[in-house]
C-alpha cells in the first residue's frame, strides 16, 4: 500500500500575506513528506475558488517541490482537462517536461473543474466537460506514443504535430481520473486509468466504490482504453490530524473538515461562505454568516450529503487522534480495497505546526506499521 499527501492550499480569512504563507507552508510540508517516507504528493488545480483552493498553478508548485526533493513521486492531480482550461497538447508538453526534470517521478490525473465559478472564468462549456476530459485523456495517451500527434475526434481536431519533449517514463507517466461518483469510477475503469477517490466517504462507502470499480474493470473492453498502458491503481482520500494529544488532534481535524465542507458547499452547492472567512460588510456579512451557520448545523448531522455528490458525506469518523487511531482507520481503508492512502492534512483552519506534526507521526509510527506488515 502507498501513502501520499494531497494539497488544496486552503485558506481561512485570506489576505495576500496569508496566501503567500500557505503556499510556502505547503512546500515545507511536501519536503517533509519525503523525509517521513511518503510515496507521493498530489496537488489539485482549481481556479478562483477563494477559501477552498488557492492552488491555481500546480505545475509550478510541483516543479518547485521536485527541485527540492529526490525520491517522492509528483502527482499532478488533477489537471482541469476541459479545453478552455488547458489544451490537451499543452498538458502533454508541460507534463512531459515535469516528468523529465523530476527524473521520471510524475503521475498525471484528470478532472473537470466543474464549478460555475471556474467555468465562467475561462469560458468553459459546462455541458461538455465530461466529454472533453475523456477526449483529453485519449489525446494525451496518444501524444507520447507517436512521433507526431494527429487526432480527429468528436470535439477537437489536431493535425500532425510532434509533441516535445518526451517524458522520461516509458511510454508515459501513469494516468488517473478524479472520482467521487459511481459513474466516474466506472469511467476510470473503462478507460484503463487509476481512480483518485475524493470526498469524505468512510470505509463502508469505499468498499462499495471499490466493488463498483472492480465490476467495471471486469466488464470492460480494450476498445475503450485511452492508452496501451493500463493503470488500475485505487487511491482514497483520508482526512487526518495526528498528535500525541488525541483529543486536541480530533478537535483540530473536525474544525478543519468543517471549514472544508463549508467551502465546498459554497462553491458547489450555493451555500453560505465559511464562517471563518465572512467578507466585510454588516448586512451582507451577517446574511452570509447566518447561511454558513445553517450549513454547519446540517453538516453536523450524520450522513448528510455534501455537494456535489451523494458519496461525499460529512461525518467525523476519520484518522483524527493518536497514531494508534490512525493505524486502526487505515486498516479499515486497506480492508475496503485502498491501494493508496491520500492524506488530507492541509485544511483551511489547521495550523502549520499541526500539519508538520501529523506528517512526523505518520512517518515515524503509522507508515512503518504497514511497511513492516
Q: What is the pLDDT of residues 210-232, one digit of tens each?
A: 999 999 999 999 999 999 999 99
The CATH number for 193's domain is 3.20.20.30
Backbone torsion region of residue 270, taken as left when φ is above 0, otherwise alpha when ψ lies between -120 and 50, otherwise beta: left
Q: Which cell is 3 given?
A: 501513502
Does residue 280 belong to any structural domain of this protein?
no
Does residue 27 belong to any structural domain of this protein?
yes
For the segment 148-165, the average pLDDT, to the nearest whole number, is 97
Does residue 308 belong to any structural domain of this protein?
no
For the segment 129-151, the average pLDDT, to the nearest whole number, is 96
Does residue 354 belong to any structural domain of this protein?
yes
- With 60 as the cut, is the pLDDT of residue 241 above it? yes
Does residue 12 belong to any structural domain of this protein?
yes
Does residue 301 belong to any structural domain of this protein?
no
Segment 244-259, tens digit of pLDDT: 999 999 999 998 988 8
How confident is the model at residue 273, as a pLDDT? 59
Neighbour-count burial for 219-251, b at 16+ CB within 10 Å, e otherwise: ebeeeebbbebbbebbbbbbbbbbbeebeebbe
Specify the higher pLDDT residue, 308 or 2. 2
Of the pLDDT bands very low, low, confident and very high (cuts 50, 70, 90), residue 271 is low
DSSP state of 53: B
Does residue 271 belong to any structural domain of this protein?
no
Q: Is 85 exposed, middle or buried (CB count within 10 Å of its CB: 0-12, 13-18, 19+)?
A: buried
Give the residue numbers spanning the domain of 368. Answer: 2-260+313-372
Distance CA(301)–CA(314), nearest Å, equals 8
How confident is the model at residue 201, as a pLDDT? 81
343 pairs with which residues across the strands? 5, 238
- With 60 as the cut, is the pLDDT of residue 45 above it? yes
Pairing of strands 73-80, 40-43: parallel
Does residue 285 belong to any structural domain of this protein?
no
Distance CA(70)–CA(47), nearest Å, equals 29
Number of folded domains that form the chain: 1
Question: Model's pTM, two decimal places?
Answer: 0.89
- Lowest average pLDDT, out of 55-64, 229-238, 262-271, goes to 262-271
Amino acid at each position: 500500500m502507498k501513502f501520499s499527501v494531497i494539497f488544496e492550499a486552503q485558506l481561512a480569512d485570506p489576505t495576500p500575506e496569508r496566501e503567500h504563507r500557505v503556499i510556502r507552508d505547503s512546500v515545507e510540508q511536501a519536503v517533509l513528506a519525503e523525509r517521513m517516507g511518503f510515496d507521493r504528493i498530489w496537488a489539485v488545480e482549481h481556479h478562483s475558488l477563494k477559501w477552498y483552493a488557492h492552488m491555481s498553478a500546480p505545475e509550478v508548485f510541483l516543479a518547485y517541490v521536485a527541485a527540492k526533493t529526490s525520491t517522492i513521486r509528483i502527482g499532478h492531480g488533477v489537471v482541469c482537462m476541459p479545453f478552455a482550461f488547458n489544451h490537451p497538447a499543452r498538458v502533454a508538453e508541460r507534463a512531459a517536461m515535469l516528468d523529465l526534470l523530476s527524473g521520471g517521478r510524475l503521475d498525471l490525473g484528470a478532472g473537470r473543474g466543474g464549478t460555475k465559478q471556474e467555468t465562467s472564468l475561462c469560458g468553459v462549456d459546462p455541458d461538455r466537460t465530461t466529454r472533453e476530459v475523456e477526449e483529453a485523456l485519449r489525446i494525451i495517451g496518444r501524444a507520447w506514443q507517436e512521433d507526431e500527434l494527429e487526432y480527429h475526434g468528436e470535439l477537437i481536431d489536431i493535425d500532425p504535430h510532434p509533441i516535445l519533449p518526451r517524458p522520461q517514463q516509458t511510454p508515459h507517466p501513469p494516468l488517473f481520473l478524479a472520482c467521487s461518483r459511481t459513474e466516474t469510477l466506472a469511467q476510470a475503469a473503462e478507460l484503463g486509468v487509476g481512480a483518485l477517490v475524493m470526498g469524505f466517504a468512510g470505509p463502508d462507502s469505499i468498499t462499495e466504490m471499490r466493488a463498483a470499480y472492480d465490476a467495471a474493470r471486469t466488464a470492460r473492453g480494450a476498445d475503450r482504453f485511452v492508452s496501451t498502458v493500463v493503470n488500475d491503481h485505487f487511491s482514497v482520500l483520508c482526512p487526518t490530524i495526528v498528535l500525541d494529544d488525541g483529543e486536541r488532534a480530533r478537535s483540530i481535524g473536525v474544525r478543519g473538515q468543517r471549514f472544508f465542507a463549508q467551502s465546498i458547499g459554497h462553491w458547489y452547492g450555493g451555500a453560505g461562505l465559511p464562517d471563518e472567512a465572512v467578507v466585510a460588510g454588516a448586512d451582507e456579512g451577517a446574511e452570509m454568516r447566518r447561511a454558513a451557520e445553517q450549513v454547519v448545523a446540517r453538516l453536523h448531522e450524520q450522513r448528510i450529503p455534501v455537494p456535489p455528490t451523494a458519496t461525499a458525506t460529512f461525518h467525523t469518523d476519520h484518522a483524527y487522534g493518536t497514531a494508534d487511531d490512525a493505524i486502526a482507520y487505515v486498516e479499515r481503508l486497506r480492508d475496503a480495497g485502498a491501494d493508496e492512502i491520500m492524506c488530507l492534512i492541509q485544511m483551511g483552519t489547521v495550523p502549520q505546526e499541526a500539519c508538520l506534526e501529523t506528517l512526523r507521526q505518520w512517518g515515524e509510527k503509522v507508515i512503518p506499521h504497514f511497511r513492516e506488515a
